[in-house]
Amino acid sequence: MTKIKETSTNFANKKALSDECPEIYASNTIGGQWALAICCYLINGKLRFGELRKKLNNITERMLTLQLRRLEEDRIITRTVYAEVPPRVEYELTEIGYKLKPIILEFEKWGKEHKEIMRDKEIVSEPQKV
């Protein structure tokens, strides 16, 4: 996961949009393939790193670690380390993180509806055999 150079025009544009528009700010914070997926799984409660890794079977350990760190830095999740051998680490949504639940449920609903529309479009656009 590479960071955008802070001196780039792309960075300046993203920052300006994010400062002006709370929707863009929210999208930049939880957007991306993995952050939202992690939040979706944590909505149901605490999970350990290995449990998240199994649920997100296409994510690499490195990417999962980076995403968890970023979500923790953004105060969307908390990381609790238990002094055990072997060490146990659990991740959980914070209070502000749990406020994503209705939004995620709406995303799910919208996604299902949109998939259906696109599937119907494909059926209609298939060439007719004569």
Q: Specify the DSSP class assigned to residue 60.
A: -
- Global pTM? 0.77
Dig out the tokens for 2 from the structure: 């590479």
pLDDT score recorded for residue 37: 94
Q: What is the pLDDT of residues 9-38, one digit of tens each?
A: 877 877 788 788 888 888 888 887 899 999
Q: What is the pLDDT of residues 80-115, one digit of tens each?
A: 999 988 889 999 999 999 999 999 999 999 999 999
With 90 as the cut, is the pLDDT of residue 47 above it?
A: yes
Mean pLDDT of the chain: 88
Contact 34, 24 (CB under 8 A): no
pLDDT score recorded for residue 117: 92
Q: Say which residue the tokens 């055990």 belong to.
A: 84
- Map out the domains of the chain with their CATH numbers: 31-124 (1.10.10.10)
Mapped onto helix, strand or coil, the DSSP state of residue 31 is coil
Burial tier of 22 (Cβ tally within 10 Å: 0-12, 13-18, 19+): exposed
Dig out the tokens for 23 from the structure: 């929707």
Q: What is the pLDDT of residues 51-79, one digit of tens each?
A: 999 999 999 999 999 999 999 999 999 99
Phi, psi of 88, rounded to the nearest 5 degrees: -115, 130
